[in-house]
Amino acid sequence: WSNRDFPWTKKLEANNKKVFGNHSFRPNQREVINATMSRNDVFVLMPTGGGKSLTYQLPSLISPGVTIVISPLVSLIQDQIMHLLQANISAAYLSANMEWTEQQDVLRELCSGHCRYKLLYVTPEKIANDALLRQLENLHARELLDRIVIDEAHCVSQWGHDFRPDYQSLGILKQKFPNIPVLALTATATASVKEDVVQALGLVDCIIFRQSFNRPNLRYSVIPKTKKCVDDIDKFIKDNHNDECGIIYCLSKKDCEKVSETLQEYGHKAAFYHGSMDPDKRAAVQKMWSKDEINIICATVAFGMGINKPDVRFVIHHSLPKSIEGYHQECGRAGRDGQRSSCVLYYSYSDYIRVKHMLSHGLLEQNYNASSGRVLETNTENLLRMVNYCENDVDCRRFLQLIHFGEKFDSFNCKKTCDNCSKAQNLVDKDVTEIAKHLVELVKSVEQQFSASHILEVYRGSLSQNVKKYEHHTLSLHGAGKSVAKGEALRVLHHLVVEEILIEVVKRSDYYGNVSSILKVNEKKASNLLAGMQTITLRF
Ligand code: ADP
């Protein structure tokens, strides 16, 4: 597909220079364009900033009709259209929140004899709408439906980290227009998500392009989160990125506002951004950030898709992200100009319990169909993988992220650009099977009604009021771990949760989002360990 002898090659190169001002193509751009122009179904995995838009905008210019682009967010669509109009490319969009008359104007233009549009962007729910489908059929009958582009295609998959129910109806497009090429684009998809997307969209003999997800200019680290997390963030920014531009991802709207307020007090030009804000206010904040009038945005994951700012020097996670895919994508917003940038994650195990609770109660932004079985299961599994990533203070962060996307990475090539690789490592493997067994047995002997911290207290022989109140100092395993360091026992316990031998069950949450939980035993997974048929080793 890198061949330059296609009938459209000359036009392609000329338009790339003249209309888009690019001197060359980025990796895979030419290949994707040649494949879609040859009328194949194409699936493209390209990291954020890789230049996905060009792979359909350029073909739209050298094709006779209209390209339909399905994109999830109106703000993202508006941003794209603004750029297209600046380049004198005729484009429009349809979304549910437009005035009805405006929508009629767009539909009318679409069925007019000389439709001006080269690109029509639509939000996914519009595809289920008969009026639009009728116009697409009309375009198709006049041979003016060039291709269908599905942006952020991972949103189709329930296995993905960003499932959107509206995307599920997109399979209808291939059913209605089997001979129209579909181009599916995403910056994030594991092998199973890719399969799911290809199947749900009904893509035929699909050509797949993917490139390395490694971002060599990003430096990754995970830092234990303390009560003074915002002070730590303030110091980190002042020491490493003073006055530079960055994003701080927070879990809840309240967190965004609190973190932003504290950073302002510390002298930073910070603002917050989340889904519950008035759209005008949100757009204003984004604009100020683009123009460098403020340099730090404290945001939920609602802030991100379509962010084109090239000089984001740091992405900080104030709380645990809900999946490795999401984390990788959020970090990917840093350093799009190729300059060195930092990705710092402040991790505490208690955030895991908090996120888990929010997931199962649908309290997180952009978290759809949360309480339904399969989605919740996937979300919980994704979250556990993220905990595993944070708990791992040994392996290369790049290796851990990339393996998740099915990409092998030799940690030698990390060149000490993650916290684990840059540590002077003097580690040994340690058999912790006995500790693990004791902890599981203890959870059972307190009737699976107590928290992780209570279990650790009993295990290490505490005689606190709480331990005595429940007479847990009389248990045979009380003090069994007297000689085990607290940190070590804690790591084993977290490992048991990650391996789903123990399960954290949320009991209560208060107004501030603090949650309390108890540990249960997963009998099926614990049986081998308790029967002495499983050993557990951790590296210390
Ligand atoms: P993605 O959607 O993959 O995150 P975009 O399509 O938004 O990436 O492109 C990211 C940036 O790269 C944009 O500013 C775009 O103008 C620029 N870009 C894309 N292709 C090229 C190219 N061939 N040469 C130079 N710049 C490019």
Global ipTM: 0.99
Q: How does residue 418 score in pLDDT terms, banded at 50, 70 and 90?
A: very high
Ligand 1 contact via 48 beta carbon (within 6 Å)? yes
Question: pLDDT tens digits, residue range 300-331?
Answer: 987 876 577 889 999 999 999 999 988 998 99
Q: How does residue 114 score in pLDDT terms, banded at 50, 70 and 90?
A: confident
- One-character DSSP codes across 292-337: TSS-EEEE-TTS-TT---TTEEEEEESS--S-HHHHHHHHTTS-TT
CA of 122 to the centre of ligand 1 (A): 21
pLDDT at 417: 95
- One-character DSSP codes across 461-509: T---HHHHHTTGGGSTTTTTTTTS-HHHHHHHHHHHHHTTSEEEEEEEE
CA of 193 to the centre of ligand 1 (A): 24
The contacts of residue 317 (CB under 8 Å, 6+ apart) are 248, 249, 327, 330, 343, 344, 345, 346
Query: 120: closest CA among 109, 131, 112?
Result: 109
Mean pLDDT, the chain, integer: 90
Q: Give yes or no for residue 291 having a pLDDT over 60.
A: yes
As a whole number, mean pLDDT of residues 44-72 equals 92
Question: pLDDT tens digits, residue range 72-110?
Answer: 888 788 888 988 999 999 999 998 888 889 988 999 898
CA of 489 to the centre of ligand 1 (A): 48
| pTM, two decimal places | 0.77
Ligand 1 contact via 254 beta carbon (within 6 Å)? no
CA of 112 to the centre of ligand 1 (A): 32
pLDDT at 381: 84
What are the start-end ranges of the H helices in 242-396?
Answer: 253-265, 279-290, 324-331, 349-360, 373-391
Q: Which atom of ligand 1 is nearest to the CA of 20?
A: 16
Q: Which of 54, 211, 213, 215 to mutate to test the pocket of ligand 1 (most atoms within 8 A of CB)?
A: 54
Ligand 1 contact via 26 beta carbon (within 6 Å)? yes
Atom 21 of ligand 1: nearest residue by CA position: 51
Question: pLDDT tens digits, residue range 518-531?
Answer: 999 999 999 999 99
As a whole number, mean pLDDT of residues 153-164 equals 80
Query: 371: closest CA among 381, 361, 379, 357?
Result: 361
CA of 26 to the centre of ligand 1 (A): 8
Write the CA distances from 500 to 183, 185, 368, 383, integer angstroms. 38, 34, 24, 12
Is 212:407 a contact under the CB 8 Å cutoff? Answer: yes
Q: Could you tell me how far CA 445 lies from the centroid of its own chain?
A: 39
Q: Which of 16, 308, 312 to mutate to test the pocket of ligand 1 (most atoms within 8 A of CB)?
A: 308
Give Rg (Cα) of the chain: 26
pLDDT at 297: 95
CA 300/CA 481 separation, integer angstroms: 40
Q: Which of 15, 18, 22, 55 to mutate to test the pocket of ligand 1 (most atoms within 8 A of CB)?
A: 22
Is 79:306 a contact under the CB 8 Å cutoff? Answer: yes
pLDDT at 169: 87
As a whole number, mean pLDDT of residues 421-429 equals 81
As a whole number, mean pLDDT of residues 54-74 equals 94
Is 318:354 a contact under the CB 8 Å cutoff? Answer: no
Specify the higher pLDDT residue, 278 or 223.
223
CA of 76 to the centre of ligand 1 (A): 14
Write the CA distances from 456 to 153, 447, 459, 496, integer angstroms. 44, 15, 5, 13
CA of 48 to the centre of ligand 1 (A): 9
pLDDT at 372: 61
Angle between helices 130-141 and 100-111 (to 10 degrees): 20
Specify the higher pLDDT residue, 152 or 279.
152
Atom 26 of ligand 1: nearest residue by CA position: 22
Strands 119-122 and 91-94 turn out to be: parallel
CA of 121 to the centre of ligand 1 (A): 18
| SS3 (DSSP) at 430 | strand
CA of 309 to the centre of ligand 1 (A): 11
Hunting for tokens 């993905």 — which residue is that?
160
Q: Give yes or no for residue 434 having a pLDDT over 70.
A: yes
CA of 52 to the centre of ligand 1 (A): 7
pLDDT at 187: 85
| SS3 (DSSP) at 43 | strand
Ligand 1 contact via 49 beta carbon (within 6 Å)? yes
pLDDT at 39: 96
Question: pLDDT tens digits, residue range 325-355?
Answer: 889 989 999 998 889 999 999 999 999 999 9
pLDDT at 510: 63
- The alpha carbon torsion through 222, 322, 189, 216 (nearest 10 deg) reads -20
pLDDT at 512: 59
CA of 202 to the centre of ligand 1 (A): 28
Question: pLDDT tens digits, residue range 236-269?
Answer: 999 999 999 999 999 999 999 999 999 999 999 9
Is 436:492 a contact under the CB 8 Å cutoff? Answer: yes
Hunting for tokens 């999946």 — which residue is that?
323
Q: Which atom of ligand 1 is nearest to the CA of 308?
A: 7
Is 458:467 a contact under the CB 8 Å cutoff? Answer: yes
Q: Give yes or no for residue 122 having a pLDDT over 90.
A: yes
CA 171/CA 197 separation, integer angstroms: 9
Q: Tokens representing 243?
A: 């006055």
The contacts of residue 100 (CB under 8 Å, 6+ apart) are none
Ligand 1 contact via 367 beta carbon (within 6 Å)? no
Query: 43: closest CA among 237, 161, 182?
Result: 182
CA of 79 to the centre of ligand 1 (A): 13
pLDDT at 367: 55
Ligand 1 contact via 29 beta carbon (within 6 Å)? yes
Q: How does residue 513 score in pLDDT terms, banded at 50, 70 and 90?
A: low
Ligand 1 contact via 306 beta carbon (within 6 Å)? no
Atom 20 of ligand 1: nearest residue by CA position: 51
| 161, HSE (Cβ side, Cα atoms, 13 Å) | 24
| 1, HSE (Cβ side, Cα atoms, 13 Å) | 18
Specify the higher pLDDT residue, 305 or 294.
294
As a whole number, mean pLDDT of residues 137-160 equals 90
In this prediction, what percent of the chain has a pLDDT beyond 70?
95
Write the CA distances from 304 to 96, 182, 294, 330, integer angstroms. 21, 25, 16, 7
Hunting for tokens 């700012």 — which residue is that?
309
Question: pLDDT tens digits, residue range 358-413?
Answer: 888 777 765 554 556 667 777 888 899 999 999 998 889 999 999 887 788 888 89
